Amino acid sequence: MPPDPIRTPTDPHGRCTAGHQVLALTDRLGGAETYDEAAEATEHVLDEADGVLTRLGQFFEAAAEECRASGADEGFELACRFEDAAATLTDLSDELHGASDQMRSLGPPPDPRWQAQVARYYATTPQRPGPASPTPTMSGPPAPPVRPEHAPQPRHHR
C-alpha cells in the first residue's frame, strides 16, 4: 500500500510529490547539525548525474522538445523559453560545482540556532507553580470605554 501523500495548504491533495521531496530536503538541510550533514543534503540538489538541478534541466529540455513537436509558432516560442530555463539551470549547476565539498570543509558544527537554544532552556528550566486558585473577578458595572482624548499618547524622546 503506497504511503499517504503529503498535503500542504497549497497542495491539499498531495499531487506535487517532487515539490514535497524538495521541501523535505530543505527541512533536512535546515535541521543539519553538522556541515557534513548539510553537505549531504546539498548533494541531492547539486549532484552532476542525478541531482535535482540536472534532472530539472532534463525536464525543461524534454518540455522544449514537446513544444517543438507541435509545429505551431507558439510551440517554438515556448520551446525557446524552456531551453533558456534549461541553460540557466546548467549555468547554475556549473556555478555551484564543488559547493557540497566546500560546505563539508567549513569546519566544526555550527552553533545551535536560537530556536534550539530557547527550546533547550525551557526544557531544563524548573517550572514555577501556577496560582493555587483562579483570581476572583470583581463584580460591578463595566468600566467606561476609553475616549480618544484619554488614550495614552506616544512619548517623544530627545
* Nearest-5° Cα angle at 8, 56 to 63: 25
46 and 96 in contact (C-beta within 8 Å)? yes
pLDDT of residue 127: 66
Grid cell listed for 106? 567549513
Helix (H, G, I), strand (E, B) or coil at 153: coil
More confident of the two residues 101 and 11: 101
Provide the pLDDT confidence category of residue 92 given band limits of 50, 70 and 90: very high
DSSP state of 41: H
Helix (H, G, I), strand (E, B) or coil at 11: strand
* Nearest-5° Cα angle at 11, 29 to 75: 95
Residue with cell 549555468: 91
What is the rounded average pLDDT for all residues in the chain? 83
Stretch among 25-29, 58-62, 96-100, 113-117 having the lowest mean pLDDT: 113-117
* Predicted confidence (pLDDT) per residue in 113-139, tens digit: 677 777 777 777 666 665 555 555 556
More confident of the two residues 109 and 30: 30
